[in-house]
Amino acid sequence: MMQIPCILCGRRDESEFVCGGASHLLRPPLEASDQQWGDYLFFRDNPKGVHLERWRHAQGCGRWFNVARHTVTHEILSVYAITEPAPR
């Protein structure tokens, strides 16, 4: 099981968290085409490598935050606030 460092509570078992999927998705404007809207709702990078994703400490403080995690090794490379931009 992964240990995930919550930005408020520190390292806890993965079972205390829920994953909210890919982070940094930008909602398109209201006049977006069906193509753009579908792209926003459904299409994902789904990388084999580093993935930027949202996690919530559901069984703890309840805070949402961002995690940069490798999808093969499951290594967590960084944890940052939900409002922060994607790391370069």
Partner 1 sequence: MQNRYSAWSLLRGAFSGQRNWSPAWTDAAPKAAYDVIVVGGGGHGLATAYYLAKNHGLNNVAVIERGWIGGGNTGRNTTIVRSNYLYPESARLYDFSLKLYEGLSAELNFNIMLSQRGLVLLAHSRHDLDAMSRWANAMRMNGIDAGILSRDEVAAMVPGLDMSPQARIPVLGGFTQRRGGTARHDAIAWGYARAASALGVDIIQNCEVQGFVQEGGRVVGVDTTRGRINADRVGIAAAGHSSVLANLAGFRLPVTSYALQAMVSEPLKPVLDTVVLSPGTGAYLSQSDKGELVIGAMLDLFPSYAQRGSFAVTQSILAGVLALFPAYARLKMLRQWAGIVDVVHDSSPIIGATPVPGLYINCGWGTGGFKGIPVGGWTLAHVLATGENHPLAEPFALSRFVTGRLIDEAAASGIAH
Position 14 contacts partner 1 (CB under 8 A): yes
For partner 1, the binding residue among 8, 44, 78, 86 (CB under 8 A) is: 44
Position 21 contacts partner 1 (CB under 8 A): yes
Position 62 contacts partner 1 (CB under 8 A): no
Q: How far apart are CA 23 and CA 55, in angstroms?
A: 9
Strands 76-81 vs 50-56: parallel, antiparallel or unpaired? unpaired
Position 79 contacts partner 1 (CB under 8 A): no
Position 40 contacts partner 1 (CB under 8 A): no
Length of the chain: 88
Q: How far apart are CA 76 and CA 6, in angstroms?
A: 11
Which pair of tokens denotes residue 60? Answer: 């703890």
For partner 1, the binding residue among 46, 83, 85, 88 (CB under 8 A) is: 46
